[in-house]
Structure 1
Amino acid sequence: MPHPFVVAPRGGAPVAAAVPGDRWPRESPLDGLPEILRRHVDDPDVTDVFLNGASGLFVDRGDGARPVTGWRADEEEVRDLAVTLIALGGRHIDDATPCVDVRLAGGIRVHAVLPPVCADGTTISLRVPRRTLAGLTDLERAGMFDHRGGERLAGLVADRANLLVTGAAGTGKTTLLAALLGAARREERIVTIEDVAELRIDHPHHVRLEARQPNLEGAGGIDLARLVREALRMRPDRLVVGECRGAEVRELLSALNTGHDGGAGTLHANGLADVPARLEALGALAGLGDGALARQVFSAIGWIVHLSRGADGRRHVAGLGRPRLEDGRLAVEALPWPG
């Protein structure tokens, strides 16, 4: 039986350069996908594609992950696909490095986990970027907020408020942040810093910095905290950290406390009330005590925009808040939305 992931050149046409051992040309990551998988990745409504080992393929079009009929692949085939996808992103996945995250040409983000870390077989998650860049008007049309809410958000951008966009995974934090930054004045210089570059902004002056993982010898890594320090030397009008997940929160807060208005970042949190505990945990990683972190956040962050995803899978702005101090500790005051 032919292997479903083999891609053969047709008619002697030249084949684009590929990573040694790969079956896919680097310039066209969609060309080598199995047809049923490519069809879903190429669908403009699809936001995520999931392969759960040999047990199934699931697709999310914004209304929750739904199983796809007609998909057949055994564990060896799914593992081969994971190895190929990760290699296309310039990294390597094997038993010694079983969890890897990469970005492919076109902005497709691939995360793969091999067994036994993933007990049910190789798991692949693909985040598929929108083909067209969504602005605030597009998100309003999609139901993320109403017209009054859109005007409120646009006003925060125009006022150069420092924003923190929060929410659980998959709630649209990156999508909303990109739309907010796209509403910034055309003359402003935006520098974004991400672990894996996902932010695509409709703006003429956008500089993207992406962290680099260490090589097999453990050398050459550049983390987000280092990139924040480098970005400060690039004279940004708006400094953005795509997601605060560690010690880089210290550098971000320091930067926003030195006159860098209009900055932003995203943070995983289940609700506005959970934001202080989440920031305190990150601050501890950076050596910041609760009191020092509270003062830094209160001074640096103007507004917190929280996103949620309903039972129907629809993403929406669930609340707006402002940091405040409460007996020396960080708290968040929930405000009327859109109000």
Structure 2
Amino acid sequence: MASAFVVVPRPGSAAASRGEPASVPGPRRQLPDDAALDPLREYLLDPDVTDVFVNGERGVFIDRGRGAEAVEGWCPNEAEVRALAVALIALGGRHLDDATPCADVRWAGGIRVHAVLSPVACEGSVISIRLPAVEQLSLADLEQRGMFDTAVAADLRRLVEERTNLLVTGATGAGKTTLLAALLSAASPTDRIVTIEDVAELRLDHPHHVRLEARQPNLEGAGAVPLARLVREALRMRPDRLVVGECRGEEVRELLTALNTGHQGGAGTVHASGLAEVPARLEALGALAGLDDHGVARQVVSAIGAVVHVGNVDGVRRVMGIVRPVLRDGRLGIEEQA
């Protein structure tokens, strides 16, 4: 199976109509040069699409920032979806079969692919593809697109300049990674930024960005490089800004550990449906790491200077609020920034 990656033209261009690479400059998305992608290529090339889903024989759904929408044109059977899932995961260097029915990979260019085979996926094999933004967006770009107003933009720039440790929260697809990348890109060009992620998604417009990605064990159960080890390795790399990517479980311990080492200007992201839910969400994640509520509260208040929450309002990603964590009777709370 081919493993080379090529830059492909945007849909609708003259080069695209001839099947040739585009010759004019402009945002482009990298895709693997493999025929397995043909059923999905149209959607993967669309610069407005953020996610592509294949839900077994129920077909393809795409998200352009307004939620998942069903699309017409391809109604696969289970054998086709399964073969596609195996091929897409193989392009990321991992294996998918009945013994390993779930896998998550990242292709070159930052595209993330997750697949679950039937019968673990009860109604047929499913594929989820997360597509990075075609453009590298700055804070000015996000302000222009309505993510926040001028006053909030000034607050965000001040937090970066003052090297405040940040936690960006929000629901899936709300723009956490996009905002965090823009914030880090606004850091001084002399800063050495080290990012640690389970699957590397952060792409920064910054001259000194070191990316570390966790590695899962091989089929023999060897070779794993977990986040906790990468945090220790990163601390030896003299980072000016230490960033632990998305926390979905006990890795919140690594995030708090990293930001409690005396480093300033660090950051991370956490899923939360609203600002009011952030303390409970952090407590729940801390419990997975063996921390009690009081331990989480002390660690968070010590490590995090500001929480920036993002949400999706009528199809537009917006900063919903900026708060700071506080202790309330030994438990974690939040209050608005002064």
Shared fold (TM-score, shorter chain, > 0.5): yes
Q: Does 1:144 align with 2:147?
A: yes
Distance 1:255 1:229 in 2: 8
Mapping of 1:150-169 within 5 angstroms? Answer: 150-169=153-172
Residue aligned with 1:242, SS? strand
2:261 match:
258
Q: CA deviation at 1:27?
A: 2.5
1:271 match:
274
Contact residue 228 and residue 254 of structure 2 kept, 8 A: yes
Render the CA deviation track for 1:272-309: whole Å, top value 9, x for unaligned: 12111121122222222221221111111000001112
Residue aligned with 2:335, SS? strand
Q: CA deviation at 1:241?
A: 0.8
Q: Does 1:79 align with 2:57?
A: no
Q: CA deviation at 1:180?
A: 0.5
> TM-score normalized by structure 2?
0.89
Q: Does 1:320 align with 2:322?
A: yes
Distance 2:189 2:330 in 1: 39
Residue aligned with 1:230, SS? helix
**Aligned partner (choices 327, 330, 333) of residue 332 of structure 2:** 330
Contact residue 249 and residue 282 of structure 1 kept, 8 A: yes
Q: 1:40 to 1:322 in 2, by over 3 A?
A: same
> TM-score normalized by structure 1?
0.88
Number of residue pairs aligned between Structure 1 and Structure 2: 313
Render the CA deviation track for 1:108-142: whole Å, top value 9, x for unaligned: 10011111121111111111112221111111122
Equivalent residue letter for 2:103: V
Q: CA deviation at 1:47?
A: 1.0
2:127 match:
124
Q: 1:230 to 1:119 in 2, by over 3 A?
A: same
Q: 1:117 to 1:76 in 2, by over 3 A?
A: same
**Aligned partner (choices 69, 89, 92) of residue 89 of structure 1:** 92
Q: CA deviation at 1:54?
A: 1.7
Residue aligned with 1:241, SS? strand
Distance 2:237 2:37 in 1: 42
Render the CA deviation track for 1:155-177: whole Å, top value 9, x for unaligned: 11111100000011111111110
Distance 1:316 1:168 in 2: 12
Contact residue 304 and residue 321 of structure 1 kept, 8 A: yes
**Aligned partner (choices 165, 180, 185) of residue 182 of structure 1:** 185
Q: Does 1:281 align with 2:284?
A: yes
Q: Does 1:65 align with 2:43?
A: no
Distance 1:84 1:166 in 2: 33
Q: Does 1:26 align with 2:4?
A: yes
Residue aligned with 2:5, SS? coil
**Aligned partner (choices 100, 104, 107) of residue 101 of structure 1:** 104
Q: CA deviation at 1:66?
A: 1.6
Q: CA deviation at 1:189?
A: 0.3
Distance 2:79 2:59 in 1: 14
1:17 match:
none
Contact residue 244 and residue 254 of structure 2 kept, 8 A: no
- Larger deviation, residues 185-194 vs 34-43: 34-43
**Aligned partner (choices 222, 226, 229) of residue 225 of structure 2:** 222
Residue aligned with 1:112, SS? strand
Q: CA deviation at 1:84?
A: 0.5
CA RMSD in angstroms comes to 1.6
Q: CA deviation at 1:255?
A: 2.7
Unaligned runs of 5+ in 1: 1-21
Unaligned runs of 5+ in 2: 7-31
Contact residue 36 and residue 88 of structure 2 kept, 8 A: no
Render the CA deviation track for 1:201-246: whole Å, top value 9, x for unaligned: 0000000000000111111111111111111111100000111223
**Aligned partner (choices 212, 215, 225) of residue 212 of structure 1:** 215
Residue aligned with 1:200, SS? coil
Counting aligned pairs with the same residue, the percent is: 67
Contact residue 227 and residue 254 of structure 2 kept, 8 A: no
Distance 2:278 2:228 in 1: 21
1:10 match:
none
1:202 match:
205
Mapping of 1:23-62 within 5 angstroms? Answer: 24-28=2-6, 29-35=32-38, 37-62=40-65
